[in-house]
Structure 1
Amino acid sequence: MTPGDRNEVIHLWPAGPPRTIEGAPPESTFQPPVGVAAGTVMLRNVSKPTLTVYRPEPGKANGSAVVVCPGGGWRILAWKHEGTDVAEWFAQRGYTAFLLKYRVSPTAADPAAFAAQMAQTDGLLAEPLTAAKAPTAIEQIVRDEKLRYAREVAADDGRRALAIVRERAAEYGLDPDRVGMIGFSAGAFLVVDVAIDPQGPPPAFLAPIYGGETRGRPVPADAPPLFTVIAHDDRLLFHMVEGLYLDWSAADRSCELHIFARGAHGFGMVRQGLPSDRWIDLLGGWLADKGFG
């Protein structure tokens, strides 16, 4: 039995969220047939956001917590390799992990129509992107007004998740000042959006993995220490992550960037036999150095 099998699920907005996403078919799962994460479980049409709690074994808790935010381009959630696998890794090392199932833009209920929708994004990854073309590719992904709105709603869910963990810190034996966030791809955008505009105390630490941007917004004077990684052959977000690191550095905030020669986009906890497989061990060392481990 894994931690996720036995742990609590918290509803973020029991009285209803401040903003809603309309028109979502019922939530469902699917497994992509190709790509880095082929065969892993993913979610779509999430309209009821939750936190799933992954507690460490008794006697192993270190008092720190992390909110885990999977990616998926604001259309899907990479639930296993950027979600449950990550939460379990943290719980095994003494952290209390809270896996965020945040709301995403609706996709077609029909599987064939859904596959056609996803092919539009896959096409952007088919050819290498230059520094000049990468921002244009990102703009293509978020050009749709629904995706822009989904990004804002996802940040709402992220802020609420952070607040809930802090509010219930005593219940879980946590230090409310040691609650950080990790996100992947679209989830990385989410955690950076929260850190830039937390609407409350910011996360204690921030780990946006292959994603995130400031969008020209100033990095707050109390911005948390940042750890980020990217593969040089990530055809979509390499230059954006590089820019995020430089923005944090220019604001004189603690930051660490690891660039791997190979790994592509979206590797998460998938082992590819590449140096990028080590990213989470590097993160563990960084967290220990910062006093969270």
Structure 2
Amino acid sequence: MRGSALLTLLLSAAFATTAGAQNGPPPSAPAAPPAEPDAIPLYGERTPGTAASENWVKFAGRDYAVRNVTRPTLTPVLPDPARATGAAAIVVPGGAFMILAMDHEGWQVAKALADRGIAAFVLKYRLVPTPVDEARAGAFMGEMLHREVADPMHGNLLGQSKAPDDALAAIALVRAQSARWKVDPARVGVIGFSAGAMTVRRVALGATPANRPAFVGYVYGPQDAEAVPRDAPPLFDAIAMDDELFPTKSFAIASAWQQAGRPVEVHGYARGHHGFGLGVPGTTTTMMIDEFTAWLATQGFLRKDAK
């Protein structure tokens, strides 16, 4: 599959409309940056970059996405205090480390979690630079994706994006400010989608035990195995069986988690393709966020007396 075809697949999936992802990529158009009044500079006064570098688009006239992020931020989306469980999740959108699906895999997911009593924090992380011009950017991203898709966990895009560094900083920030947001620092986890899933997997397996997330939501990430430590955080692995970018490969990463003696749950949806977000209507992918919440509950993360 050539780069342009891969990019079409990525964008048509990652920004799926309610009509479904497989009718071709939804129309996109440059957009003015949305207001982000609650976004917090991730590193405080030391936060690098500038929002002026960003290139925003809207897919299907509604879903925001952004390229050329150089200034990372974290946006809290908090639950009604009456429903708050004390658990928190860093939400890490995907987009091949070159674009971020801020609506589809970020703000929408965060709101769904907050509605279920989980404090959510949307991470806008630093990306691999792409050309400002939309046409040139599309060609560039397609070719880069073409080079990476065979072995994405060991490719250049993950390392170039600074995403793992920013995810670790987000976990540390939420834990440090846990009293402010009324969350339990021992119950701060992550949920990532596609490239965001790759990011949270790298943090879960590569960080020191003290810096690791409490739990990991791994949504349509690569299923290839790697070594898993015996103190890895619990894993929730969800992917569609017809995912074109990341074949299930017998759920090898989940098997590696199990072989390490760590809690793991797997959901393989019959249909949904890559990039289903909160779910493609007419498929069981629409159950994912409730299944993730139920899994958190069974693992003890949603007990209000868990502190």
TM-score range, shorter chain: 0.7 to 0.9
Query: Which residue of the partner structure matches residue 4 of structure 2?
Result: none
Stretches of structure 2 that go unaligned for 5 or more consecutive residues are 1-33, 303-307
Q: Aligned pair 1:225/2:234, yes or no?
A: yes
In 1: Cα distance, 2:149 partner to 2:37 partner: 39
TM-score (norm. length: structure 2): 0.78
Query: Which residue of the partner structure matches residue 253 of structure 2?
Result: 244
In 1: Cα distance, 2:113 partner to 2:250 partner: 23
SS at match of 1:222: coil
* Cα distance, 1:141 vs structure 2: 9.7
Please give the per-residue CA displacement for 1:180-208, whole angstroms capped at 9, x wherever unaligned: 10000000011111111223332111101
1:205 to 212, 215, 238: 215
Letter aligned with residue 217 of structure 2? A
Letter aligned with residue 89 of structure 1? A
Please give the per-residue CA displacement for 1:221-259, whole angstroms capped at 9, x wherever unaligned: 221111011111111212368121111011010001111
Letter aligned with residue 27 of structure 1? E
* Cα distance, 1:117 vs structure 2: 2.5
1:95 to 118, 121, 124: 118
SS at match of 2:151: helix
Query: Which residue of the partner structure matches residue 56 of structure 1?
Result: 79
Query: Which residue of the partner structure matches residue 89 of structure 2?
Result: 66
Query: Which residue of the partner structure matches residue 167 of structure 2?
Result: 158
Q: CA RMSD in A?
A: 2.9
In 2: Cα distance, 1:156 partner to 1:258 partner: 28
SS at match of 1:279: helix
TM-score (norm. length: structure 1): 0.82
In 1: Cα distance, 2:176 partner to 2:299 partner: 23
In 2: Cα distance, 1:189 partner to 1:12 partner: 20
1:14 to 29, 38, 44: 44
Please give the per-residue CA displacement for 1:89-142, whole angstroms capped at 9, x wherever unaligned: 1111111111100111011101111122244478x6xxxxxxxxxx98333897
Please give the per-residue CA displacement for 1:61-110, whole angstroms capped at 9, x wherever unaligned: 11110000000111011111110010001111111111100111011101
Query: Which residue of the partner structure matches residue 75 of structure 1?
Result: 98
Query: Which residue of the partner structure matches residue 138 of structure 1?
Result: 150
* Cα distance, 1:16 vs structure 2: 3.7
Q: Which runs of 4+ in 1 moved over 4 A?
A: 4-7, 140-143, 212-215
1:269 to 272, 278, 281: 278
In 2: Cα distance, 1:141 partner to 1:119 partner: 18
Tell whether the 8 Å contact from 1:209 to 1:228 is kept in structure 2 after alignment: yes
Identity of aligned residues (%): 39
Stretches of structure 1 that go unaligned for 5 or more consecutive residues are 125-134
Please give the per-residue CA displacement for 1:149-187, whole angstroms capped at 9, x wherever unaligned: 324x11000111001111111111111101110000000
Tell whether the 8 Å contact from 1:195 to 1:202 is kept in structure 2 after alignment: yes
SS at match of 1:73: coil
In 1: Cα distance, 2:299 partner to 2:219 partner: 18
* Cα distance, 1:213 vs structure 2: 6.1
Query: Which residue of the partner structure matches residue 107 of structure 1?
Result: 130
SS at match of 2:268: strand
SS at match of 1:282: helix
Tell whether the 8 Å contact from 1:196 to 1:214 is kept in structure 2 after alignment: no
